């Protein structure tokens, strides 16, 4: 019987480039920036890396469809390198491949890296002409803001939340992320905003305004993973391990049948339940010290609080307004600024989330360091509310 991967894989080094509009750098530059930090952190030599997973989602103009660019940019000679893609969960997918490879015993030291050079493509999440089942049947001329705006209106309707109250809660989400990003030198957007700024901003897709939406960025993030035993031999006093890695992909049921009310994200509910079981967590509200979630839009973060079992159904908006997820709240969320402000280079986002949890666990987050950080969760959502992939990782100290 499968027993999961709890404490079977350690993260011994992580790195992250600065996110933003990196016009003068190519994808290889960003990969090298993240890798240089990670290998120095791990305290190993390049030749000790036995395999690698490269996550790239949309940008194939510079990186291409193969895994070759990672081997070339990082000078990893003749090792196994695999390229993966899974929408906005691509970075976590790369980590999952690396972690499972170590957990299986196939390799001792493995690299996971995610990168995206989105600014050069002009991609902004708007409707496109790519044909296929999802686009042709369920999402003709659709857009990400439009799809998540529908999530907002469905949630509001289901729980009878006054529109002004929901908008205030969404505004609080955005203001919180901007406040946190000010303390993060690698973040794309480092400017404070007010609730009034959010509420008076131009509407993108009712009820989502400009400040309710994350932008797109260039960036890279990576992790070096091994066994806890090797981590100790490398001199790591605090051994950071993967407690759980779970993935859930919708099969279209939400879009095809009337059993889904449009007010929740089912894959998050399923993946969270599996992740907590694998990590041995009975009560996530008591166990988790910080979380990084997929705040592509402010409403997404709000609804995910319920999918992750951190707020009761219909209560997330009020918990947010009461400061439950602020940096000094019960469960700090997006301490690094999240997708909203750290940025969202799609292939890198999942690993960027783990990078923040890793820094917090080691007490290396600088000005944004939390007083207590023993266990953290990251969550990626790729796709739209009715057709998506959800990836969850839980990271903590060995044995804790």
Number of Cβ atoms within 10 Å of the Cβ of 326: 19
DSSP assignments along 206-274, one per residue: TTEEGGGB----EEEEEEEEE-HHHHHHTT-SS-EEEEEEEEEE--SHHHHSTT--SSS-HHHHHHHHH
Same domain, 70 and 159: no
Same domain, 161 and 292: yes
pLDDT at 129: 47
For 74-107, what is each residue's pLDDT tens digit?
A: 999 999 999 999 999 999 999 999 999 999 999 9
pLDDT at 1: 60
How far lies 275's CA from each of 6, 104, 138, 203, 266, in Å? 10, 19, 29, 36, 14
How far apart are alpha carbons 127 and 260 in whole angstroms? 24
pLDDT at 134: 47
pLDDT at 64: 84
Owning domain of residue 103: 10-120+219-233
How far apart are alpha carbons 100 and 142 in whole angstroms? 35
Last residue of a domain, one of 179, 206, 233: 233
DSSP assignments along 77-109, one per residue: TT-EEEEE-BTBTHHHHHHHHHHHHHHTTS-SS
In the set 344, 384, 386, 390, the catalytic residue is: 344
Same domain, 382 and 287: yes
Same domain, 298 and 151: yes
Q: What is the CATH number of the domain that holds 327?
A: 3.40.47.10
Q: What dihedral angle (degrees, nearest 10) is formed by the CA atoms of 350, 319, 176, 291?
A: -20
pLDDT at 63: 84
In the set 16, 88, 213, 341, the catalytic residue is: 88
Same domain, 147 and 61: no
- Whether 130 maps to a domain, the answer reads no
Is residue 384 annotated as a catalytic residue, yes or no? no
- Whether 305 maps to a domain, the answer reads yes
Same domain, 224 and 279: no
pLDDT at 122: 65
- Whether 126 maps to a domain, the answer reads no
Looking at the DSSP bridge assignments, the partners of residue 60 are: none
Same domain, 149 and 110: no
Same domain, 254 and 228: no
pLDDT at 233: 97
CA nearest 261: which of 197, 314, 318, 320? 314
Same domain, 202 and 225: no
pLDDT in tens, the chain (400 residues): 678 999 999 999 999 999 999 999 999 999 999 999 999 999 999 999 999 999 999 866 678 888 999 999 999 999 999 999 999 999 999 999 999 999 999 999 999 999 999 887 766 555 454 545 444 444 544 688 889 999 999 999 999 999 999 999 999 999 999 999 999 999 999 999 999 999 999 999 999 999 999 988 999 999 999 999 999 999 999 999 999 999 999 987 777 777 789 999 999 999 999 999 999 999 999 999 999 999 999 999 999 999 999 999 999 999 999 999 999 999 999 999 999 999 999 999 999 999 999 999 999 999 999 999 999 999 999 988 888 999 999 999 998 7
pLDDT at 133: 47
Is residue 386 annotated as a catalytic residue, yes or no? no
- Whether 131 maps to a domain, the answer reads no
Same domain, 184 and 315: yes
- Whether 136 maps to a domain, the answer reads no
How far apart are alpha carbons 118 and 211 in whole angstroms? 20
Q: What's the pTM?
A: 0.94
pLDDT at 60: 67
Structural domain count of the chain: 2
Same domain, 224 and 340: no
**C-alpha count within 13 angstroms, C-beta hemisphere, residue 172:** 20
pLDDT at 69: 92
Same domain, 251 and 299: yes
Last residue of a domain, one of 203, 233, 263: 233
């Amino acid at each position: 019987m499968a027993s999961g991967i709890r404490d079977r894989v350690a993260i011994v080094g992580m790195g992250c480039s600065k996110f933003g509009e990196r016009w003068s750098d190519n994808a290889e530059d960003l990969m090298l920036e993240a890798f240089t930090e990670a290998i120095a952190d791990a305290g190993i030599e390049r030749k000790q890396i036995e395999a690698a997973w490269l996550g790239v989602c949309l940008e194939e103009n510079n990186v291409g469809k193969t895994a070759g660019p990672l081997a070339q940019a990082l000078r990893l000679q003749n090792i196994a390198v695999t390229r993966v893609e899974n929408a906005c969960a691509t970075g976590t997918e790369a980590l999952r491949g690396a972690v499972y490879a170590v957990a299986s015993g196939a390799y001792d030291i493995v690299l996971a890296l995610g990168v995206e050079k989105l600014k050069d493509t002009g991609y902004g999440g708007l409707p496109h002409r790519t044909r296929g089942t999802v686009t042709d049947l369920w999402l003709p001329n659709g857009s990400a803001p439009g799809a998540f705006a529908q999530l907002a209106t469905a949630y509001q309707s289901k729980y009878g939340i006054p529109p002004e109250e929901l908008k205030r809660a969404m505004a609080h989400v955005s203001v919180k992320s901007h406040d946190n990003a000010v303390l993060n030198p690698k973040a794309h957007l480092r400017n404070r905003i007010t609730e009034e700024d959010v509420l008076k901003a131009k509407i993108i897709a009712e009820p989502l305004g400009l400040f309710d939406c994350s932008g797109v960025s260039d960036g890279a993030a990576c992790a070096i993973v091994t066994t806890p035993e090797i981590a100790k031999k490398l001199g790591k006093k605090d051994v950071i391990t993967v407690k759980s890695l779970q993935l859930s992909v919708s099969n279209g049921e939400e879009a095809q049948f009337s059993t889904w009310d449009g007010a929740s994200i089912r894959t998050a509910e399923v993946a969270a339940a599996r992740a907590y079981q694998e990590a041995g967590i009975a009560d996530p509200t008591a166990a988790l010290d910080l979380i990084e979630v997929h705040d592509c839009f402010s409403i997404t973060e709000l609804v995910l609080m319920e999918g992750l079992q951190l707020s009761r159904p219909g209560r997330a908006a009020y918990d947010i307004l009461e400061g439950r997820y602020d940096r000094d709240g019960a469960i700090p969320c997006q301490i690094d600024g999240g997708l909203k402000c750290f940025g969202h280079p799609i292939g890198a986002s999942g690993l960027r989330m783990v990078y923040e949890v890793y820094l917090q666990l080691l007490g290396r987050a600088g000005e944004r360091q939390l007083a207590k950080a023993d266990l953290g969760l990251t969550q990626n959502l790729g796709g739209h509310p009715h057709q998506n992939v959800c990836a969850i990782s839980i990271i903590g100290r060995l044995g804790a």
